[in-house]
């Protein structure tokens, strides 16, 4: 059998292509190695570097092909609105071009990598109203720790069940919408051409060659990457959300069977590809921590924007139509996954650029004035800032959500923050980097402004910085401290900072301050993969942003004596020494 596998350099496409070749089939491997999925410089052996949106390039490759296995897609949650065109283009335009090229080449069989994301929430039953479809969960419920969706008719608790293939589509993200559209396009192609297709709706796939810690990676990989850094996996919600984790070798096996099996009806036949052994996200975190002998998971509350609570599938249809039954159990699969090789992370900071390098914004200060309708989230890392917070929060631009990351305060910082209307998350691991990282993970907005919670910096600069990033003028807007009076910035801290900034400029990062205030896209910041969790965090961030080719701009920000309490960094010689030592370690 000659099979064209799209996305063959990917996690699942690679496993399918290898399995086909191992059993003696002829495989035509096609992949574009897109930047959102692969690190720069990645190569793929025996692969045609072809875009599935390129009909002319596909034409000769489809010669003599019996069946196409379409795995190529831009995957993940669809992290910013700016990603919409790229998702629609790779996933839907790509599928449409491929289908038309298959028709032109007379190829009538297709296996599509479908996804359980088309369902949205899983199946739920209300004791009174039977099967119901809860809508997205309210932020107020999530903030209050009420994670279970409620009956849309009576508000009662629901009983989660198994989702079957005839469940209506309810895609909740850009990515999910494009996966649903893929199925519609394939259905239309099959009706018009007499072709047949399977959509294998994979659940949460894990295993070797899974991408590393990026927002596009699955939760198993995110936990595994945290453990590799010696950090506890951070489990959102209460850890009791349920999923079906299915091993990539089982997913590859399901593809291989589907490629040679006639669907029972014309058109598209969808089947869940799952293990049939549901587990909670907490189970996964604990099992991985145990397998790696790493730190115990931390349940941190909060929820990913738009995330669903339980999606657990019914494996019956795949069993009866394809004879598919997952072989790899959860315990053995997770144990192996603890040491499986992972794929290098993609570096995607550049993909957010929207206009050419024009330097920092010189226009009006409010984002709305530039036609940029962006509300950023302000992240305030705080350790014992109960005295300063009222002053800080009063000075922030009105209407912007504030996320306080309480980094182990004992002075009631969290209660003060809540009373002032901030959302609060707790980061038990001490350290500036740990607090900022926790804030980035828990924040919900596309753009974030990170600011010290001690009132030393004037937040009036924030709207201009946000405008510059939102309009695409810069990738990282930084504040450059201008001390207001001699008490504002002790000499030792100023000297230490100037030294580090000079070393940074020497490395080609054009800054004059290791900025305590910065604005950037939240996901892009996470994608930088900053590992330092202490005072070295801001410096590592600058080094990584510079290496990723980010455009960096600085604006002066008035810097005065803190509003209350004592600085953890620059208030003492010891603090300056610790910070400079952490930073210098990174420049070595």
Chain residues in the site for ligand NAD (CB under 6 A)? 6-7, 9-13, 31-34, 37-38, 51-53, 71-75, 90, 94, 113, 115, 179, 202, 204-205, 211, 218
CA distances 8 to 44, 75, 111, 256, 337, Å, are 9, 14, 14, 14, 21
CB of 92 to ligand NAD, least distance (A): 11
Q: To the nearest whole angstrom, how small is the minimum distance from the Cβ of residue 70 to ligand NAD?
A: 7
Minimum CB separation of residue 246 from ligand NAD in Å reads 8
Cβ proximity to ligand NAD: between 96 and 416 the closer is 96
46 phi/psi in degrees, rounded to 5: 55, 25
573-587 and 537-547 helices cross at what angle (nearest 10)?
30
What the block records as the tokens of 443 is 């924040």
| Shortest Cβ 89–ligand NAD spacing (Å) | 7
Q: Considering beta carbons, is residue 211 or 315 the nearer one to ligand NAD?
A: 211
Angle 281-292/330-337 helices, nearest 10 degrees? 50
Report the nearest approach of ligand NAD to the CB of residue 223 (Å): 14
Is residue 175 annotated as a catalytic residue, yes or no? yes
The rounded distance, in Å, linking the Cα atoms of 154 and 27 is 54
Cα-based distances in Å from 193 to 104, 129, 186, 258, 269: 10, 42, 10, 19, 15
- Retrieve residue 452's tokens: 């010290």
The pairing of beta strand 234-236 with beta strand 159-161: unpaired
Tell me whether residue 183 or residue 454 sits nearer to ligand NAD (CB atom). Answer: 183
Question: 35 or 587, CB closer to ligand NAD?
Answer: 35
Nearer to ligand NAD by Cβ, of 211 and 282: the residue is 211
We find the least distance from the C-beta atom of residue 211 to ligand NAD, in angstroms, to be 6
Among 175, 216, 286, 537, the one annotated catalytic:
175
Tokens of 377: 């989230």
Closest approach of Cβ 114 to ligand NAD, in Å? 7
Selection from 477, 496, 405 nearest residue 443 by Cα: 405
Q: How far apart are CA 359 and CA 379, in angstroms?
A: 25
Q: Is 201 helix (H, G, I), strand (E, B) or coil?
A: strand
User: Where are the strands (E) in 79-211, listed by range?
Assistant: 109-115, 123-126, 130-132, 159-161, 196-202, 204-206
Nearer to ligand NAD, 39 or 299 (CB): 39
> What is the tally of helices (H) and strands (E) in the chain?
19, 23
In this complex, which beta carbon is closest to ligand NAD, that of residue 184 or of residue 491?
184
Please list, in sequence order, all residues whose beta carbon lies within 8 angstroms of the beta carbon of residue 60, skipping any fewer than 6 positions away. Answer: none
Residue number, nearest CB to ligand NAD: 10
Residue 266: C-alpha distances to residues 67, 109, 154, 194 (Å)? 16, 11, 40, 7
Which residues have a catalytic role annotated?
175
């Amino acid at each position: 059998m000659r099979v064209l596998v799209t996305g063959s350099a990917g996690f699942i496409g690679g496993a399918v292509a290898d399995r086909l070749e191992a059993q003696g089939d002829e495989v035509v491997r096609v992949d574009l190695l897109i930047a959102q999925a692969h690190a720069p410089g990645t190569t793929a052996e025996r692969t045609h570097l072809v875009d599935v949106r390129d009909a002319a390039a596909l034409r000769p490759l489809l010669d003599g092909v019996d069946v196409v296995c379409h795995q190529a897609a831009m995957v993940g949650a669809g992290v910013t609105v700016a990603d919409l065109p790229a998702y629609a283009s790779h996933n839907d335009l790509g599928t449409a071009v491929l289908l038309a090229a298959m028709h032109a080449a007379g190829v009538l069989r297709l296996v599509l990598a479908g996804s359980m994301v088309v369902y949205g929430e899983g199946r739920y039953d209300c004791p009174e109203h039977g099967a119901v479809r809860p809508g997205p969960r309210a932020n107020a419920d999530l903030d209050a720790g009420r994670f279970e969706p409620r009956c849309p008719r009576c508000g009662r608790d629901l009983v989660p069940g198994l989702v079957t293939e005839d469940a209506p589509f309810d895609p909740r993200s850009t990515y999910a919408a494009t996966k649903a559209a893929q199925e519609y396009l394939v259905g239309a192609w099959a009706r018009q051409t007499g072709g047949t297709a399977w959509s294998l709706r994979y659940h949460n796939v894990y295993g070797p060659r899974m991408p590393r810690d990026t927002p596009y990676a699955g939760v198993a990989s995110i936990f595994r990457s945290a453990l590799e850094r010696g950090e506890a996996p951070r489990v959102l919600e209460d850890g009791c959300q349920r999923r079906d984790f299915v091993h990539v070798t089982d997913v590859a096996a399901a593809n291989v069977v589907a490629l040679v099996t006639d669907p029972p009806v014309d058109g598209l036949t969808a089947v869940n590809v799952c293990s049939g052994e549901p587990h909670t996200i907490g189970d996964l975190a604990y099992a991985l921590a145990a397998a790696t002998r790493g730190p115990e998971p931390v349940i941190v509350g909060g929820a990913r924007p738009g995330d669903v609570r339980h999606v657990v599938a019914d494996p019956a249809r795949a069993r009866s139509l394809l004879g598919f039954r997952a072989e790899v159990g959860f315990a053995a699969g997770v144990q192996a996954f603890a040491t499986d090789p992972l794929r290098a992370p993609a570096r995607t900071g550049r993909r957010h650029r929207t206009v050419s390098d024009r330097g920092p914004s010189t226009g009006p200060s409010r984002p709305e004035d530039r036609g940029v309708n962006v509300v950023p989230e302000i992240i305030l890392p705080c350790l014992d800032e109960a005295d300063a917070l009222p002053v800080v929060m009063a000075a922030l631009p009105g209407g912007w959500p504030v996320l306080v990351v309480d980094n182990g305060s004992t002075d009631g910082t969290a209660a003060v923050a809540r009373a002032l209307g901030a959302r609060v998350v707790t980061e038990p691991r001490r350290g500036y980097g740990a607090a900022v990282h926790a804030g980035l993970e828990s924040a919900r907005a596309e753009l974030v402004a990170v600011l010290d919670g001690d009132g030393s910096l004037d937040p009036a600069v924030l709207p201009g910085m946000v405008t510059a990033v939102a309009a695409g003028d810069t990738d990282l807007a930084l504040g450059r401290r201008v001390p207001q009076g001699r008490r504002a910035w002790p000499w030792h801290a100023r000297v230490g900072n100037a030294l580090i900034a000079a070393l940074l400029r020497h490395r080609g990062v054009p800054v004059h301050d290791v900025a305590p205030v910065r604005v950037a896209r939240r996901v892009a910041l996470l994608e930088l993969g900053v590992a330092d969790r202490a005072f070295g965090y801001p410096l590592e961030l600058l080094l990584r942003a510079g290496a990723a080719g980010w455009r960096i701009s600085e604006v002066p920000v008035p810097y005065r004596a803190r509003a209350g309490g004592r600085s953890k960094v620059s208030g003492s010689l010891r603090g300056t020494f610790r910070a400079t030592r952490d930073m210098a370690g990174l420049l070595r």
